[in-house]
Amino acid sequence: MKEARTLAIDFGEKRIGLAVTDPLNIFAYPLSTLQNDSKFWDTLSKIISEYSVVKIVLGYPLKESGEQSSSTKMVITFKEELEKRISLPVELVDERYSSDIAKQRIIASVSSKKKRRDKSLLDKNAAAVILEDYLNAQNRS
């Protein structure tokens, strides 16, 4: 059986967090945090190929009220670019509380305060939260 994983992206102006499912698409794992720079697309392509990614889940930042925020527009632009460059389905997933949940997890699992301040830790963990929400929603339907 060929692996067919789902990749989650937590898009940010400076950093982009990535998480990936296990080969059975049951669990979500924080993968890495990439700089949002000129090397991003090449690195992303390598990861997609290396992990046999067949679908991308993109965190969609909404305000608590459900309205769009300034980040929402950036994510839509990023999604369009992603679809142009990578021929995989891209699904938007509400990420309203992903960073808060990720922060709580990091506090619970990382004892060193210095390590907790590492922003890249938050980005890839937020991507894992987005991916878990997506997987849970799939299992409910």
- SS3 for 61? coil
Report how far apart, in Å, the C-alpha atoms of 108 and of each of 17, 39, 65, 113 are. 20, 33, 28, 11
Which range is least confidently modeled, 7-11, 59-63, 110-114?
110-114
The percentage of the chain sitting over the pLDDT mark of 90, rounded to a whole number, equals 59
Q: Which two tokens stand for residue 50?
A: 């290396």
| DSSP structure string for 89-127 | -EEEEE-TTHHHHHHHHHHHH---HHHHT-HHHHHHHHH
- pLDDT, residue 115, reads 73
Q: Are 94 and 57 in contact (CB under 8 A)?
A: no
Instruction: Inform me whether the pLDDT recorded for 58 exceeds 90.
Output: yes
| Centroid of chain to Cα 28 | 10
- SS3 for 72? helix
What is the number of domains present in the chain?
A: 1
Of 18-22, 96-100, 137-141, give the range with the top mean pLDDT.
18-22
Instruction: Inform me whether the pLDDT recorded for 53 exceeds 90.
Output: yes
Instruction: Say what the pTM is.
Output: 0.86
- pLDDT, residue 116, reads 64
Q: How confident is the model at residue 77 (pLDDT cuts 50, 70, 90)?
A: very high
- pLDDT, residue 21, reads 97
CATH number, residue 42: 3.30.420.140
Largest CA-CA distance found in the chain, in angstroms, rounded: 43
Residue 32 is part of which domain span? Answer: 5-140
